[in-house]
Amino acid sequence: MARIETDLLVIGAGSGGLSVAAGAVQMGASVVLLEGGEMGGDCLNYGCVPSKSLIAAAKAAHGQAYAAPFGIANVTPQIDYAAAMGHVHDVIAQIAPHDSQERFERLGVRVIRAWGRFVNEREVEAGDTRIRARRIVIATGSSPFVPPIPGLDTVPYLTNETLWTLRERPGHLIVVGGGPIGMEMAQAHRRLGSEVTVLEGARALGRDDPEAAALVLERLRAEGVRTEEGTRVAEVRGAEGAIEVLDEDGRSFTGTHLLLAVGRKANTDALNLAAAGIETTRTGVKVDSRLRTTNRRVYAIGDAAGGMQFTHLAGYHAGIVIRQALFGLPATARIDHIPRATYTDPELAQVGPTEAEARKAHGPKLEVARFDYSGNDRALAERKPEGFVKVMVVKGRPVGATIVGHQAGEQIALWALAVANGLKMQALANMVAPYPTISEVSKRAAGAYFSPRLFDSALVRRVVGTVQRWLP
């Protein structure tokens, strides 16, 4: 068996692992990167990239069918589902070189295409190689969770990993799970011509602000997505093209395809973590605030760390680990400034607590500033007047923001910046946004925070009156 000694061993070539490997090797560390599957991990091959590519295709089809408000005749789009999936894979292919083995080897990373397994606290075996490292980073990501539903072992089903193999459009797609992935794929397939039914055990988009989620769900239902909330699946049966899903109340839902979108689980089972003294939790690897595992030479980042599951969070974690592993500097991860977005139409985005969460945490100290898209000229020009910005403010500083509406995923970045840096609302109000842009919605929300203080203040009126009497 070959043996390697290195400064840093990264297990997993998804977004987090690649960020650590690229940063570390370019700063002078020796780096070994292990990946037994696809370079680029879930995000490139099965997650963010393909899903947003399919959503883009669906948006193009929807635009043809609903062009009349702009003075252009509606037409029935001629949808080639196989070609739409070809578009998805073309986008993946364009991005793949950036995450490729060849690129990382050119950077100086030693890439081993094999799964890693701990043999002791400092060593990992991958294929016919044993690697001993000063520091190790677990960046193995997560996989779709498949619930133990009776009958599922005999009925064909899809997950976000297998959906992209389809070339024939589903006649009637049943989606189990009303979270972001489920609702995104439900709307995309409806716009591409499929009948769609979503089954959700609790409340669809249940993590989000109820008012904002309701606006999204109203749109999806108007487009023909059937959404059944409070539906707990008891059994599935049938065969390809004729699938039946039964809930606990005895109701039956039939369709041609079944998509499971009920959450994800960290990829840790094959790592033999016990050999390295690394403990796990129900959701992933146990880490402290510095992302260190119970083996202080080993870190876990991204989905493997068992917290929020976002590509951008994994990239943030990479920076936290690099500071510690390369420079020996303490660095603590936080999550209050990490945004999230659901790419339905309208989009739904959040940073920090929702209004309900903020009221529970801050009580009477909380103030809520709001501005509706219907007051934004660009939104009206784009025929996108539905939506709002809601900002949770404590002692003059935003602690969270909810945005639902056109480009919400883009607009939330401004509030993530504010929360990350502890900016005051005054800083947002001072910003001058170009006119006409959707970004003015956020500026106007900041202005709405100050409006009562300026326009409803007796003191301000007295001061203005006094100054006007003295001015020449």
The CA radius of gyration of the chain, in Å to the nearest whole number, is: 25
Question: How do 195-200 and 226-229 pair as beta strands?
Answer: parallel
**Is 107 exposed, middle or buried (CB count within 10 Å of its CB: 0-12, 13-18, 19+)?**
middle
What CA–CA distance (Å, rounded) separates 271 from 116?
Answer: 6
Q: Give the orientation angle of helix 48-65 with respect to helix 81-95, to 10 degrees.
A: 140
Q: Judge whether 161 is annotated as a binding position.
A: no
Is 28 labelled a binding residue? no
The reply to whether 354 sits in an annotated binding site is no
If we measure between CA atoms, which residue out of 376, 374, 405, 441 comes closest to residue 215?
405
How is the chain split among helix, strand and coil, in percent rounded to 5? 40, 25, 35
**Is 183 annotated in some ligand binding site?**
yes
Residue 162 annotated as lining a ligand binding site: no
Give, for 321, the enclosing helix (H) or strand (E). helix 311-327
392 among annotated binding-site residues: no
Specify whether the CB–CB gap between 446 and 397 falls below 8 A.
Answer: no
Sheet holding 226-229, edge to edge: 226-229, 195-200, 172-176, 257-260
Q: Which residue has the tokens 């619930």?
A: 147
Q: Is residue 281 a known part of a binding site?
A: no
181 labeled binding residue: yes
SS3 label, residue 447 = helix
User: Is 184 annotated as belonging to a binding site?
Assistant: yes
Candidates 459, 413, 449; CA nearest to 429 is 449
> Would you say 19 is a known binding-site residue?
no
In angstroms, the CA 449 to CA 455 distance is: 11
**68 DSSP 8-state letter:** G
Answer yes or no: is 142 a known binding residue.
yes
Residue 52 annotated as lining a ligand binding site = yes
The contacts of residue 109 (CB under 8 Å, 6+ apart) are 21, 22, 25, 31, 32, 33
Binding-site residues for FAD, in ranges, read 52, 116, 140-142, 303
Binding-site residues for NAD(+), in ranges, read 177-184, 200, 263
Binding-site residues, in ranges, read 52, 116, 140-142, 177-184, 200, 263, 303
